[in-house]
Structure 1
Amino acid sequence: MIIDTADLDPTSAYKLLIGSVLPRAIAWVSTSSTSGVGNIAPISFFTVVGRFPPILSITMQPRSDGVTLKDTFVNIRDTGEFVVNITTIGQADAVHRSAFEFDTDVDEFEALGLEKAPSEVISAPRIADSPISFECVVDRIIPMPPLPDHVVWGRVKRIHIRDDLYLPRGRVDVGALGIFGRLAAEYTMVDNIFTTPLPEPLVEELAALRAGRLDGHAADYSPIDTTAWSPSGSTKELAK
């Protein structure tokens, strides 16, 4: 099958992208409004775009109404700062719940039962239990017309990393992180590590396997087919 992107509507294009670019790292972004209300959002349109100085990139869609800007973006735009927190498997449910569209005046740290930790050089709080956090100031904001999407580049000013994860010569102990990533509208556990080449029989065996589910759902289940999913990246209600 060949798909001409000119024939796609925004929702169809989004489904194809999130179902193809896999797995995606999750930026658990914490911000504060100009009035001090804490906000948390998981963003999987997330990557590194510069190493010296370190610069991270996040891309945000509007809320599920397709028009209203998300509180995370408004806070970043208005304050010029944010924190990218790295997530672990123990935080997976809180990460998922943080995609719900809370009212703007709700402090999401309190709503989600998460502890704030102070940053060093910005006012936006960190998520205390996150093993790695990046304090960022806005480097640039790039509108993505015709939709009200925005790309934000954040210049990293401070990196917080749990002591046991920071190894000699500046290496991160990635095997101890318990990281998980984003698939389409679901998640995947990062539970193995390898270098190449792998033994050919093992490669053939793995290539023929379908990914196993950890949650008990049927093999062909996806939240995309439920009312829980919206093309905004927000979660509207718990999947049944």
Structure 2
Amino acid sequence: MIIDGTGIDATAAYKLLIGSILPRAVAWVSTVSTDGVGNLAPISFFTAVGRKPPMISISLQPRSDGVTLKDTFVNIQDTGEFVTNLAVLPLADQLHRSAYEFDSSVDEFAELGLEKAPSEVVRAPRIKEAPISFECVVNRIIPVGDTHDHVVWGEVVRFHIRDDLYLERGRVDTAALPVIGRLAAEYTLVDNVFTTPLEEGVVDAHEGRRMERLDGRATEWSPIDTAQWSPSGSTSAPGKESAA
């Protein structure tokens, strides 16, 4: 299948991107509004872009109506600050629910039962339960194409690494982290590690295998086929239309 990327709409392009760039790291972004309201959002267009200074990027789409800017972006634009928190399995449900489109007046930390931890440099709080957090100040904001999408570059001004994860020579104990990523509109647990070359038998044993599901659903099921999914990265509570 060959698809002309110059002639497809944003929804179709989004489906192809999220289904092909696998797995995608998740930045669980915490911000605070100018009125002091805490906000949380999982952003899976996220990567490192520089080392000196340490720099990351996140890309944000508008809400599910395709026009209204998300509170996360508004807060970042207004305050010039944000925090990225590591997404891990014990917090997966709260992470997913933080993609619901809450009213701007709702403090999502309280709504999701998460505790705030103070940052050292930025006003935005960290998620206390997150094992790793980056305090970031905005370096630049880049509009994308003819959509309401934006790329935000943030300079990491403070790294918060849980003590037991910080090893000698500045290394992070990655094998101790039950980190999760995104596969299309679903999640994956990173629970194996390897270096190459692998023995031929190991590679052959994985040929043609489908991923194991932790939730017991059929292997071909996808939330993209449900009413709760939207091409904004937002979602809605089961049984509700995507809004609010």
Shorter-chain TM-score range: over 0.9
Higher mean Cα deviation, 57-66 or 6-15?
6-15
Counterpart for residue 114 of structure 1: 114
Task: Report the Cα distance in structure 1 between the residues aligned to 2:72 and 2:175, rounded to whole angstroms.
Answer: 30
Cα deviation code 1:90-145 (max 9, x no counterpart): 00001000000000000000000000000001111000010000000000000012
* One-letter amino acid matched to 2:19: G
Q: CA deviation at 1:65?
A: 0.3
Q: Quote the sequence identity (%).
A: 69
Structure 1 gaps of 5+ residues are: none
Tell me, in whole angstroms, the C-alpha distance in 2 between the residues paired with 1:237 and 1:20.
26
| Kept after mapping to 2: 8 A contact 1:134/1:156 | yes
How far apart in 2 are the matches of 1:49 and 1:104?
30
| CA shift digits 1:137-185 (9 cap, x unpaired) | 0000000120000000000000001000000111000000111110100
Task: Supply the distance in 1 between the matched residues of 2:207 and 2:51 (Cα, whole angstroms).
Answer: 34
Distance 1:9 1:171 in 2: 42
Q: What corresponds to 1:49 in structure 2? A: 49
Q: CA RMSD in A?
A: 1.0
What is the alpha-carbon distance in structure 2 between the residues aligned to residue 15 and residue 134 of structure 1? Answer: 29
1:239 Cα offset (Å): 7.3
Q: Distance in 1 between matches of 2:220 and 2:34?
A: 44
Residue of structure 2 in register with 1:185 after alignment: 185
Structure 1 segments of 4+ aligned residues over 4 angstroms from their partners? none
TM-score with structure 2 length normalisation? 0.97
Whether 1:7 and 2:7 are equivalent positions in the alignment is yes
Partner SS state of residue 8, structure 1: coil
Deviations 1:177-203 (A, max 9, x none): 111110100000100010001101110
CA contact (8 A) 1:43 1:58 kept: yes
Equivalenced residues, count: 240
CA distance in 2, matches of 1:226, 1:181: 20
- Cα distance in 2 between the residues matched to 1:219 and 1:142: 38
Q: Does 2:129 align with 1:129?
A: yes
- 1:156 aligns to what? 156
Indicate conservation of the 8 Å contact 1:223/1:239, yes or no.
no
Asked if 1:62 is matched to 2:68, the reply is no
Distance 1:7 1:124 in 2: 40
Indicate the SS of the match to 2:213. Answer: coil
1:8-49 per-residue CA deviation (whole Å, 9 max, x = no partner) reads 111000000000000000000000000100000000000000
- 2:89 alignment counterpart: 89
Distance in 2 between residues matched to 1:8 and 1:237, nearest whole Å: 29
Separation (CA, whole Å) in 2 of partners of 1:239 and 1:180: 25
Name the residue aligned to 2:225. Answer: 225
Supply the distance in 2 between the matched residues of 1:8 and 1:184 (Cα, whole angstroms): 18
**1:214 to partner: Cα distance:** 0.9
Match of 2:25, SS state, is: coil
- Alignment partners' CA distance in 1, 2:169 and 2:88: 24
Cα distance 1:174–1:203, how it changes in 2: closer, same or farther (>3 A)? same
SS of 1:92 mapped into structure 2? helix
1:227–1:237 contact (8 Å) kept in structure 2: no
Q: Could you say what secondary structure the match of 2:29 adopts?
A: strand
CA distance, structure 2, for counterparts of residue 152 and residue 239 of structure 1: 33
Determine the C-alpha separation between the residues in 2 that align with 1:191 and 1:216: 18
Per the TM alignment, residue 212 of structure 1 is displaced from its structure 2 partner at its CA by 1.2
Cα separation, 2, equivalents of 1:220 and 1:87: 24
- Given that 1:165 and 1:176 are in contact with CA atoms closer than 8 Å, whether structure 2 keeps it comes out as yes
TM-score normalised to the size of structure 1? 0.98
Distance 1:87 1:47 in 2: 14
Take 1:238 and 1:61, find their aligned partners in 2: how far apart are those partners? 22
Q: What corresponds to 1:75 in structure 2?
A: 75
In the aligned structure 1, how far is the partner of 2:115 from the partner of 2:72?
A: 18
